[in-house]
Amino acid sequence: MDLSPITSQTGEKDCLKWLVSLKRPTLVSCDGDGGKHAGIENSSLLATPLIIESMMIGMVVFYDGIENSFRDKDVKLLTIIGDQIASFIERSRAHRELEQKNRELEEAHEQLREAQKDLIDAEKLRAVRELAASINHEINNPLSVITGNAEYLLYINKNLEQNVMERLNIIYSEASRIAEINRRLLEIQDLVTQTYVDDDQIKMLNLERSSSGE
């Protein structure tokens, strides 16, 4: 028996429309009115619809140029095969939908993690900048006194001993350095950390990079 899908038979379009309209397993032979109606005179046709949840999604059709080549048992067999094909298609569709949902969920989860990280980083930065502003305010007052007095002593006492002058210069220089660090505290734009000394468990703020926004 030479079985093959309908491809180029006369009346193929009308035949398929008719089969689709039946929406049930169908056996047609040339010697009946159905054969003439289906446009398959002098041949046989066997078809079964693929149905998922009461919806027809396709059809399996076999055609043979020999009269009466299909039997009722072939209808039963093709019906079983059609049900299995429809079930496989439905499982494949459900699997694809599940994979798509999983991808969307993973993307949403990743976006949520990034948003949470950004929120935490922003909150950390806000807290550090508030602390920096408080430190700047508290340090500036006594620091101004130290710097001003050191500068005054250097200006009015030109005849001080060399070691005293050196110590005053050190005081003034280090006070100026503290003032520069204090100024940078107000310019923090990002939190760039580095290892504190040799302890990997403790991180310290890299003030130069944090205040430059690198």
CATH of the domain at 166: 1.10.287
Domain that holds residue 128: 103-212
Supply the pLDDT for residue 52.
Answer: 81
Whole-prediction pTM: 0.49
Same domain, yes or no: 129 and 172: yes
| CA distance linking residue 89 with residue 187, whole number of Å | 62
CB within 8 A of 207, min separation 6: which ones? 181, 184, 185, 188
Same domain, yes or no: 121 and 194: yes
Determine contact, residues 194/206, Cβ cutoff 8 Å: yes
**Is residue 2 included in any domain, yes or no?**
no
- By the 10 Å C-beta count (0-12 exposed, 13-18 middle, 19+ buried), 84 is classed as exposed
> 32-41, 61-70, 198-207: which has the minimum mean pLDDT?
32-41
**Is residue 116 included in any domain, yes or no?**
yes
- Label residue 71 by pLDDT band (50, 70, 90): confident
**Is residue 84 included in any domain, yes or no?**
no
Same domain, yes or no: 107 and 66: no
Please give the tally of structural domains in the chain.
Answer: 2
Average pLDDT, stretch 19-48?
A: 64
How many DSSP H helices and E strands does the chain contain? 5, 5
| pLDDT higher than threshold 90 for residue 116 | yes
Same domain, yes or no: 164 and 121: yes
Same domain, yes or no: 58 and 118: no
Same domain, yes or no: 16 and 111: no
Same domain, yes or no: 109 and 206: yes
**Is residue 91 included in any domain, yes or no?**
no
Supply the pLDDT for residue 1.
Answer: 31
**Is residue 4 included in any domain, yes or no?**
no
Question: Would the CA dihedral through 119, 124, 128, 134 be positive or negative?
Answer: positive
